[in-house]
C-alpha cells in the first residue's frame, strides 16, 4: 500500500503518430459524411432548411462535448483534484479542438448573418410584426443576426483562449516541472469557472433555446450544461480507452480512473434529469400558455414518443445501472453506457431543436399562433426524421476527431505535475 506511485518505467506516454492518424481518420469521416450531407441536404429541396437544422444540432453536439471536458479541467485545478491528473492531458488535447469547432460553427452563423431566415424564427421578417409577436418583438434587439454573430465570436474567443491557456501552462510544466504553475492555474481557475458558466448558459440560450424565441426558461442553460457534461465524460471515457488500445498509458490509467469518469457521467445523468424536471414542473404547474407551448409540442403528437424515449433512455435506464460500483469499474460495461449516453445526448439536442422545425407551418397560420398555444395543432409537428440529420452529425464528429488529433502530441500525461504520483496511486474506497 502506498499513497504515491511513480510513472511505470515501461509506460508509453508519447503520442507519436497517434494524433496524425486520428486527424486523418477524422478528416476522412468529416469529408465523406459532410459531402454526403450536402448532397442529401440539397436533394431535400427545402432551401437547405433541414440541412441547417441538422448542422446546428451536430455542431451543438461537438461543442457540448468540449464544454463537458473543459469543465473537468477547470474544476480539477480549482479543487486541487488528484485522480484526474492522469487523464488531464487527454482532456487538454480534446479542448484543443475548440478553434476548429468554432470555425465549423461559422457554417450556420454566416448564413444567418447573410440573411438566411429559414433557420431561426427571430431572423424571419414575421418576427418583427408587433401584433403577431408582441412579446417576441421586445427580444429582437438581442436576437438580431448581427449581435448574434458578435456573441458567437465572443464565445469562440473565450473558450478557445481558456482551453489554450490551460493546455499551454500544463505543457510548460512538462518542461520545467515548476510546481508554481499548478498554483497559478488554481488561482486562474476560480474566475475561469465563473466565466465558463456564464458563457455556457448564454451560448445555450442563443444557439439552442432561440429556436423557440417566444419561450421562457432561465434554467435552460444549466440543463444544456448537464447534458453537455454527460456527453463530455462519456466521450472522455471512450477517448481514454481508444488511446489505451494503441498500447499507450496502459499502466497509468486503470479501473480507478474509469470509475471516476463513470461517477461523473452518472452524476450528470441525474443532474440533467433534475434540471429538466425542474424546468418542466414549474411550467406545468404555472400553466402559462407562453411557457407550456414548448412542452405542448413535445408531450403530445409524435414527439411524445421521443420524450418518453428521453426519459427512459437518457435517465432511467443509465441511472439505475450506473448506480452500481461495478458497472463503472468494468470497462466494457462503462463503454457501453458511454456510447449509449453519447447517442442519447444527441437525441436530447435533437429533441430541443426539432419540434420547432415546423414553425413555418405555424407562421402561415398566423391566427392560430396569435391566439395562443392551446389552439396550435400538434398534428402539424412531425418528428420527420431525415438521413441528413445523422450524416451531418457523424461528419461533424469526424471534424471533432480531426481537431483533437491536431493537439494529440507530445506527452499524453503531465509527467511533471506534482499531483501525478497521487493520481497514479489513486484508489476508490
Partner 1 sequence: MATHDEHEASPASIPSPGPAPAPSPAPGPAPGTEGDGYGDGALYGILAEYDTPGELVEAARKVRDAGYTEFDCFSPFPVHGIDEAMGIKRTILPVLIFGGGCLGALGGLFLQWWMNAYNWPWIVSGKPAWSLPANVPIGFETTILMAVFTAFFGMWILNKLPQVWHPFFRLERFGRVTDDTFLLGIEARDQRFDLEATRKLLADAGAIAVEPCYLEADPARRTMPKWITAFIVSSTAFALIPFAIAAKARSSTSTEPHLHIFPDMDFQPKYKSDTACDMFPDARCNRGELPGTVARGLLHADDTLYRGLSDGQWTIGFPRQLDITEAFVRRGENRYNIYCAPCHGFDGRGQGPVPQRIAATGTAWSIRNLVDPAASPAKMPNGQLFNTISNGFNTMMGYAQQLPHADRWAIVAYVRALQRGHNATLEDVRAEKRNTMPAPPLPAPPPPPPPAQPALSPAAPAPTPVPAAPVPAPAPAPGGAR
**Could you tell me what percentage of the chain is helix, strand and coil, using 3-state DSSP and rounding each to the nearest 5?**
75, 0, 25
374 lines the binding site for partner 1 (CB under 8 A): yes
- Give the DSSP letter string of 319-353: HHHHTSHHHHHSHHHHHHHHHHHHHHHHHHHHHHH
Report residue 386 as a C-alpha cell.
431525415
Please, what sign has the CA dihedral across residues 99, 104, 109, 115? Answer: positive
Measure the CA–CA gap between 292 and 285, rounded to whole angstroms.
9
6 lines the binding site for partner 1 (CB under 8 A): no
Q: How far is the CB of 355 from partner 1 (least distance, A)?
A: 17
316: which DSSP letter?
I
Please, what sign has the CA dihedral across residues 330, 26, 91, 276? Answer: negative
Q: Assign 377 to helix, strand or coil.
A: coil
316 lines the binding site for partner 1 (CB under 8 A): no
Q: Assign 423 to helix, strand or coil.
A: helix
Evaluate whether 354 touches 212 at the Cβ level (below 8 Å): no
Q: Which is nearer to partner 1, 14 or 325 (CB)?
A: 325
Which stretch, 12-20, 113-121, 248-256, 364-372, contacts partner 1 (CB under 8 A)?
A: 364-372
Our CA dihedral for 119, 123, 125, 130, rounded to 10 degrees, sits at 120
Q: How far is the CB of 75 from partner 1 (least distance, A)?
A: 19
Q: Which is nearer to partner 1, 6 or 21 (CB)?
A: 6
372 lines the binding site for partner 1 (CB under 8 A): yes
Q: Assign 122 to helix, strand or coil.
A: helix
368 lines the binding site for partner 1 (CB under 8 A): yes
281 lines the binding site for partner 1 (CB under 8 A): yes
Q: Which is nearer to partner 1, 124 or 248 (CB)?
A: 124
How many residues lie near partner 1 (CB under 8 A)? 33
Rg (C-alpha) for the chain, rounded Å, is 22
4 lines the binding site for partner 1 (CB under 8 A): no
Q: How far is the CB of 238 from partner 1 (least distance, A)?
A: 27
Q: How far is the CB of 310 from partner 1 (least distance, A)?
A: 15
Which stretch, 129-137, 161-169, 211-219, 260-268, contacts partner 1 (CB under 8 A)?
A: 129-137
Q: Which is nearer to partner 1, 114 or 429 (CB)?
A: 429
323 lines the binding site for partner 1 (CB under 8 A): yes
376 lines the binding site for partner 1 (CB under 8 A): yes
Which stretch, 217-225, 228-236, 278-286, 413-421, contacts partner 1 (CB under 8 A)?
A: 278-286
Q: Which 382-401 residues touch partner 1, going by CB under 8 A?
A: none
Q: Nearest-CA neighbor of 274 among 219, 218, 217, 347? A: 219
Measure the CA–CA gap between 424 and 427, rounded to whole angstroms.
9
- Using the rule CB under 8 A, which residue among 301, 365, 387, 394 binds partner 1? 365
Evaluate whether 326 touches 270 at the Cβ level (below 8 Å): no
132 lines the binding site for partner 1 (CB under 8 A): yes
14 lines the binding site for partner 1 (CB under 8 A): no
370 lines the binding site for partner 1 (CB under 8 A): yes
Determine the Cα angle at 301 with ends 298 and 305, to 5°.
65
43 lines the binding site for partner 1 (CB under 8 A): no
172 lines the binding site for partner 1 (CB under 8 A): no
Q: Nearest-CA neighbor of 105 among 61, 168, 162, 44? A: 61
Q: Which residues bind partner 1 (CB under 8 A)?
A: 1-3, 126, 129, 131-132, 134, 277, 280-281, 284-285, 287, 289, 323-325, 364-368, 370-372, 374-377, 379, 427, 429
Amino acid at each position: 500500500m502506498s499513497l504515491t506511485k511513480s510513472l511505470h518505467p515501461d509506460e508509453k506516454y508519447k503520442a507519436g503518430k497517434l494524433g496524425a492518424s486520428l486527424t486523418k481518420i477524422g478528416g476522412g469521416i468529416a469529408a465523406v459524411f459532410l459531402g454526403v450531407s450536402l448532397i442529401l441536404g440539397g436533394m431535400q429541396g427545402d432551401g437547405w432548411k433541414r440541412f441547417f437544422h441538422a448542422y446546428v444540432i451536430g455542431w451543438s453536439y461537438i461543442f457540448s462535448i468540449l464544454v463537458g471536458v473543459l469543465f473537468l479541467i477547470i474544476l480539477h485545478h480549482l479543487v486541487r483534484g488528484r485522480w484526474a491528473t492522469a487523464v488531464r492531458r487527454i482532456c487538454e488535447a480534446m479542448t484543443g479542438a475548440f478553434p476548429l469547432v468554432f470555425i465549423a460553427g461559422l457554417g450556420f452563423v454566416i448564413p444567418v448573418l447573410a440573411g438566411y431566415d429559414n433557420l431561426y424564427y427571430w431572423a424571419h421578417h414575421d418576427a418583427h410584426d408587433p401584433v403577431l409577436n408582441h412579446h417576441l418583438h421586445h427580444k429582437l434587439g438581442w436576437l438580431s443576426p448581427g449581435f448574434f454573430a458578435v456573441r458567437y465570436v465572443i464565445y469562440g474567443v473565450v473558450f478557445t483562449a481558456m482551453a489554450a491557456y490551460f493546455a499551454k501552462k500544463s505543457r510548460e510544466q512538462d518542461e520545467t516541472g515548476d510546481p508554481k504553475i499548478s498554483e497559478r492555474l488554481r488561482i486562474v481557475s476560480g474566475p475561469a469557472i465563473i466565466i465558463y458558466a456564464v458563457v455556457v448558459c448564454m451560448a445555450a440560450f442563443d444557439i439552442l433555446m432561440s429556436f423557440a424565441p417566444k419561450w421562457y426558461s432561465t434554467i435552460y442553460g444549466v440543463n444544456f450544461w448537464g447534458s453537455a457534461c454527460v456527453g463530455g465524460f462519456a466521450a472522455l471515457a471512450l477517448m481514454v480507452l481508444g488511446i489505451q488500445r494503441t498500447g499507450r498509458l496502459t499502466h497509468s490509467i486503470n479501473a480507478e480512473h474509469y470509475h471516476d469518469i463513470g461517477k461523473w457521467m452518472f452524476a450528470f445523468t441525474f443532474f440533467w434529469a433534475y434540471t429538466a424536471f425542474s424546468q418542466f414542473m414549474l411550467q406545468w404547474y404555472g400553466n402559462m400558455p407562453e411557457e407550456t407551448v414548448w412542452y405542448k409540442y413535445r408531450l403530445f403528437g409524435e414527439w411524445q414518443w421521443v420524450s418518453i424515449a428521453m426519459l427512459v433512455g437518457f435517465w432511467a435506464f443509465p441511472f439505475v445501472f450506473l448506480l452500481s460500483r461495478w458497472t463503472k469499474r468494468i470497462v466494457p460495461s462503462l463503454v457501453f453506457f458511454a456510447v449509449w449516453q453519447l447517442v442519447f445526448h444527441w437525441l436530447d439536442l435533437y429533441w430541443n431543436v426539432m419540434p420547432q422545425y415546423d414553425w413555418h407551418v405555424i407562421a402561415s397560420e398566423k391566427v392560430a399562433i396569435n391566439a395562443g398555444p392551446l389552439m396550435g395543432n400538434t398534428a402539424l409537428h412531425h418528428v420527420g426524421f431525415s438521413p441528413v440529420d445523422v450524416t451531418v452529425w457523424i461528419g461533424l464528429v469526424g471534424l471533432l476527431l480531426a481537431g483533437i488529433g491536431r493537439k494529440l502530441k507530445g506527452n499524453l500525461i503531465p509527467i511533471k505535475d506534482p499531483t501525478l504520483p497521487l493520481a497514479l496511486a489513486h484508489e476508490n474506497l
